[in-house]
Amino acid sequence: MTVKMDNRLSPGKNDERGFAIWLTGLSGAGKTTISIPLGKRLIEMGFRVQILDGDVVRKKLTRDLGFTKEDRDKNIERVTFVAELMVRHGIIVICAFISPYKAERRYAREEIGRFTEVFVKCPLDVCESRDVKGLYAKARAGEIKHFTGIDDPYEIPENPEIVVDTSMMTLDDEVDKIIDYVQKYGYIKET
């Protein structure tokens, strides 16, 4: 006898339903900077949270991939698979990835289901000024190829649920805006 299940709707512990908060933006825009206090705040509210950060994932899960469009697509496919598994089991997953292409973000949204896209907006010159690793300088010197914003495009989200401009807002305001949204739209209950 075969049992068919809709795995997307499996509730987590205490009937919590997981969802993904997908932070997208240029390198240095502030995705990781936002994800850490956002995760802490949600944990303090009593939720199960996992942060998937682009730099960490590249070191552990997708170190075999480069930065061509094909490799970036594979990177997001793998991350999406992991995020969907966690969401299915009632975890709030904060995904902090450049994810420069609209098609890969659309793919993540479709696969994960419960998904909130946050465009972490920041002018390129501000991102470059924040670059402690010197990646933008290396990309401008031709030492790094396929660098988003320099010789590879970043496709700005057309209809993100949330936009935070890290060149204009405080970190607390950015986190508050995201928390307010997920409460208002029923992803989490107000506390």
**Rounded to an integer, what is the distance from CA 7 to the centroid of its chain?**
22
CA–CA dist 191, 187 (Å, integer)? 12
Six-digit token pair at 113?
Answer: 């289901």
- The SS3 of residue 50 is strand
Element (H, E) at 75: helix 69-88
CA–CA dist 148, 25 (Å, integer)? 10
Beta carbons within 8 Å of 75's beta carbon, 6+ residues apart: 57, 58, 62, 65, 97
Six-digit token pair at 121?
Answer: 């907006």
Q: Of 27, 35, 99, 167, which is the active-site residue?
A: 99
Q: Is 99 a catalytic site residue?
A: yes
CA–CA dist 177, 171 (Å, integer)? 10
User: Which are the catalytic amino acids?
Assistant: 99
